[in-house]
A and B are shown apart, each in its own frame.
Chain A
């Protein structure tokens, strides 16, 4: 009946309406919480797709004979970087950024959000499992690793004698789980899902040495030590020059590709020549980051000096990412977050324990612990979690 009554019970809404409401929920967590309201909602609303990539799902061949399958293969491991915020943002405004590898069945492994390192003994810092339904959980980006799985035969060999000829430096993965790997001093190889072996990338550049790779919108991108950046179509493997080389760039400077919603950036870490007395200056920092933006018309890297007021770059070996400080309170805009052993603290071994913040205006860097109110971004787990 359609008559009004006092205190209508919304769990009695028709199926179609319940489904229309759930279809308009934007985040995975909102859908999960909505399903958890009552049994009827739970049975009506389909669960959102599982977030974690099943670790056994994708088996990838080892690239170099004689260690090819069945002696060795890889598994693809997926981690995600999340910003976790309290639902009560008035009392707990600051967010917590974590890198987590979800292992299925509610188990997870915590990693360093910049280096991707796994630290021991962190489980003790969590009196009980985190219930994700209690927070606002925003995925910032995904990151991947290859886990080498050796056959028993190889595993029994003395580890010292077992020198594997292939070292993965970084991998990037497409939405369809095609993989581009940078390996052995800056070479690229590609494995497309279903392929029986890896393929060398056909690039007509002599002695090219790549320094970073990223994935964006069905293309892989790789930058070499001169700043030359190529794009590679994930399916056809067609390559083209995406950005021209820049004369001031060379080997020996760390390079990071970062993609934001509307721009491609190359961030380069230069060493500064040290002069006498510099070391006595408390604020002297021997590195300088320069941010280049890709100019769409000329395909050149253009140095960008300002306009980063709200922009945060996070650089790491495993993956680099960017967001706006206003999106995630507790982060500082106009800056680069990165790890440096210079920032390491005694008794560290915790996510973010080597993290520092580089100011893009005054070109100075300080360990994250030097920023009161901002130092807990990666560690420790905030009190409002429980």
Chain B
């Protein structure tokens, strides 16, 4: 029988989750080990974001469990198929986040706060991919960042990273 824990979001929604799933979070794992996790575990994460976090954790947990149950025969092919499935799942997950930068932002903070290194790394890669090949102005627009360089500072940076061809 799986041990269940109740997680409470910042907006007071309760999520019932298996211990194995939620123990991927180092923060919660420590709380459980320290005996601090009795009853509901209050988290400073909104329900919308927490739902996404758990979606990620369940997907990862699913994969680990299946691999443990595999015998070696036919494992290779199965692993390949699974890798394809995971890629597909991750792509869908990424696309949703790209379209909703509020959730992406909160998820970055939540994965940091809950100490979920795999999710954090995944999200940072996602942001890096979104940033790659974009001009600073496009990045600012995309992520709601104000340009706090003066025109003079901008000019100096441009000159530093330019080629003024010598006669």
Cβ-based interface call for B72 (8 A): no
Chain B residue at smallest Cβ distance from A381: B165
Residues of A with C-beta under 8 A to B105:
8, 10, 13
Q: Nearest chain B CB to A20's CB is how many angstroms away? A: 4
Cβ-based interface call for A90 (8 A): no
Interface membership of chain A positions 14-43, coded 1 if the CB is closer than 8 angstroms to chain B and 0 otherwise: 101100111111110010111011110000
Q: CB distance A130 to B162 under 8 Å? A: yes
- Report the Cα distance A377→B89, complex, angstroms: 41
Q: Nearest chain A CB to B147's CB is how many angstroms away? A: 7
Give chain B's interface secondary structure class.
helix
Cβ-based interface call for B15 (8 A): no
* Chain B interface bracket (under 10, 10 to 19, 20 to 34, 35 or more): 35 or more
Cβ-based interface call for B145 (8 A): yes
Cβ-based interface call for B69 (8 A): no
Q: Choose the segment among A117-125, A192-200, A281-289, A352-360 that binds chain B (4+ C-beta atoms closer than 8 Å).
A: A117-125
Q: CB distance A109 to B144 under 8 Å? A: no
Residues of B with C-beta under 8 A to A136:
133
Cβ-based interface call for B166 (8 A): yes
Cβ-based interface call for A81 (8 A): no
Cβ-based interface call for B116 (8 A): no
Interface membership of chain B positions 137-167, coded 1 if the CB is closer than 8 angstroms to chain A and 0 otherwise: 0011001111111000000011111111111
Residues of B with C-beta under 8 A to A100:
163
Residues of B with C-beta under 8 A to A14:
109, 112
Residues of A with C-beta under 8 A to B120:
17, 20
- Report the Cα distance A132→B164, complex, angstroms: 11
Chain A residue at smallest Cβ distance from B147: A38
Known contacts A2-B106, A38-B148, A134-B135; is A108 also within 8 Å of B157 by CB? no
Interface residues of A (CB under 8 A from B): 1-11, 13-14, 16-17, 20-27, 30, 32-34, 36-39, 87, 100, 102-103, 106-110, 120-124, 126, 129-134, 136
Closest 6 CB pairs of A and B: A10-B143, A24-B128, A129-B164, A8-B105, A108-B163, A20-B124
